[in-house]
């Protein structure tokens, strides 16, 4: 018998019984692994527990108060109640306070239909906000061409801050000020464009509301209209997995999930996440071109490759194999670069081959 296995008794919304987990897991991790729903906003499996939103609170027998399940270690024999009336009312009050300190107008929000806050408000049956606040609207930051920051839709869950610091190790943003004036800010309150942001988009990918959105995708398609197609990024040889969000046969945006198996674990760089405008660019070459008397004409791949092979052979015979050089790309896979190396050395007979990653 595995000594690391622990057993918890769970009284859930639609579940009653015993579940198993492993030593070292939190209560929330055990519940999630057993497909038992507990609402969260600040929690994300890619980052260490934070315990900031207080929505994942539960009742645990023989334990005082309502501990957050995301930071409470799971212990063998625990009895956990996830949806008692007391827990439900506290969660509902927390959500109402979040709504009071912000401008959460779903009609004007890009994330409608794909918003965790919206889902939680509906789940808890909130029809109006009981609390009054002196909240004052803050200006949007749309100074760059990739990310729109709307602080009025921020719930201070801290996901973006931790993703920037702990996942990407950039530390460009943090929580500034105190109390009801708290907000997510760059150093000295400057725009993202003027900050040290590398525009990887990791903060946008983990944001549970419409506080951070992809600027290129605004007004181009609602979440339920988009078809996600998993593919491999070709900007380098790492093989990052990503999802093309397609509408009307056009790429609306690029996302990547930590649940997709791949070397990037849901992370993407600025090229992979935002560099897709070339797909529909009018100057993009779609067929080979052959120049004749100074004028380019379209040709088939067979004709173009035959011409290249003939030119290579003519040069090699006339001037020797070392008169030809090859330059490979980091956008190719290791296997493709290996094939080019074999072609240069074994077929053409030259060692004149280099790679852009070395420069």
Question: What confidence tens digit (pLDDT) does each residue in 250-294 have?
Answer: 999 999 998 888 899 999 999 999 999 999 999 999 999 999 999
CA separation, residue 112 to residues 138, 206, 256, 257, 289 (Å)? 20, 16, 19, 19, 45
The confidence band for 2, taking pLDDT boundaries of 50, 70 and 90, is: confident
Q: Are strands 241-247 and 250-255 parallel, antiparallel or unpaired?
A: antiparallel
Q: Which domains does the chain have, with CATH numbers?
A: 5-83 (3.10.20.740), 220-284 (2.20.25.90), 289-358 (no CATH)
Query: Across residues 301-319, what is the average pLDDT?
Result: 96
pLDDT, the chain, mean: 94
pLDDT digits (tens, 9 = 90+) for 40-73: 999 999 999 999 999 999 999 999 999 999 999 9
pLDDT number for residue 359? 52
The confidence band for 234, taking pLDDT boundaries of 50, 70 and 90, is: confident
Q: Are strands 212-214 and 147-149 parallel, antiparallel or unpaired?
A: antiparallel
Residues 14/84, Cβ–Cβ less than 8 Å: no
- Kindly give, in sequence order, each residue whose CB lies less than 8 Å from that of residue 176, ignoring residues fewer than 6 positions away: 182, 183, 184, 185, 189
Residues 20/36, Cβ–Cβ less than 8 Å: no
pLDDT at 358 over 80: no
Q: Angle at Cα 42 formed by Cα 207 and Cα 143, nearest 5°?
A: 30
What percent of the chain has pLDDT above 70?
99
Q: Are strands 212-214 and 227-232 parallel, antiparallel or unpaired?
A: unpaired
What is the length of the chain? 359
- Kindly give, in sequence order, each residue whose CB lies less than 8 Å from that of residue 172, ignoring residues fewer than 6 positions away: 164, 186, 187, 192, 195, 196, 197, 198
Rounded Cα distance between 252 and 216, Å, is 7
Q: Are strands 59-60 and 79-81 parallel, antiparallel or unpaired?
A: antiparallel
Strand-pairing partners, residue 258, are none
pLDDT digits (tens, 9 = 90+) for 185-223: 999 999 999 999 999 999 999 999 999 999 999 999 999
The confidence band for 1, taking pLDDT boundaries of 50, 70 and 90, is: low
Give all strands of the β-sheet with 79-81 in edge-to-edge order: 16-22, 5-11, 79-81, 59-60
pLDDT number for residue 341? 95
pLDDT digits (tens, 9 = 90+) for 157-186: 999 999 999 999 999 999 999 988 899 999
pLDDT at 102 over 60: yes
Q: Is the pTM of this model over 0.85?
A: yes
CA separation, residue 80 to residues 58, 69, 76, 91, 224 (Å)? 7, 9, 11, 16, 35
């Amino acid at each position: 018998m595995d000594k690391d296995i622990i057993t918890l008794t769970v009284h859930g919304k639609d579940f009653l019984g015993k579940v198993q987990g492993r030593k070292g897991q939190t209560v929330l991790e055990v519940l999630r692994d057993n497909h038992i729903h507990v609402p969260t906003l600040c929690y994300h499996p890619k980052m260490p527990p934070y315990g900031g939103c207080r929505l994942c609170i539960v009742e645990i027998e023989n334990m005082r108060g309502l501990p957050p399940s995301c930071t409470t270690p799971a212990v063998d024999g625990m009895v956990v109640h996830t949806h008692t009336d007391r827990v439900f009312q506290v969660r509902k009050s927390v959500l109402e306070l979040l709504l009071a300190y912000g401008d959460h107008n779903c009609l004007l929000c890009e994330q409608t239909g794909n918003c965790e806050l919206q889902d939680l408000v509906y789940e808890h049956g909130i029809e109006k906000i009981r609390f009054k606040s002196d909240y004052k609207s803050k200006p949007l930051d749309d100074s760059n061409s990739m990310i729109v920051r709307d602080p009025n839709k921020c719930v201070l869950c801290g996901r973006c801050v931790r993703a920037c610091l702990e996942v990407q190790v950039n530390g460009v943003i943090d929580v500034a000020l105190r109390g009801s004036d708290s907000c997510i800010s760059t150093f000295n309150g400057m725009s993202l464009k003027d900050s040290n942001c590398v525009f990887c988009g990791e903060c946008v990918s983990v944001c549970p509301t419409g506080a951070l959105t992809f600027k290129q995708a605004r007004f181009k398609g609602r979440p339920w209209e988009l078809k996600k197609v998993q593919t491999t990024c070709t900007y380098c040889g790492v093989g990052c997995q990503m999802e093309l969000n397609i509408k009307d046969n056009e790429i609306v945006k690029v996302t990547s999930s930590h649940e997709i198996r791949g070397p990037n674990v849901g992370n993407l760089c600025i090229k992979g996440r935002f560099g897709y405008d070339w797909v529909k660019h009018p100057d993009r070459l779609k067929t080979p071109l052959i120049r004749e008397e100074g004028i380019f004409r379209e040709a088939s791949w067979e004709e173009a490759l035959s011409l290249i092979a003939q030119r290579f052979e003519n040069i090699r015979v006339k001037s020797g194999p070392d008169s030809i050089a090859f330059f490979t790309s980091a956008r190719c896979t290791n296997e493709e670069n290996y094939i080019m190396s074999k072609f240069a050395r074994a077929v053409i007979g030259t060692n004149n081959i280099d790679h852009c990653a070395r420069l």
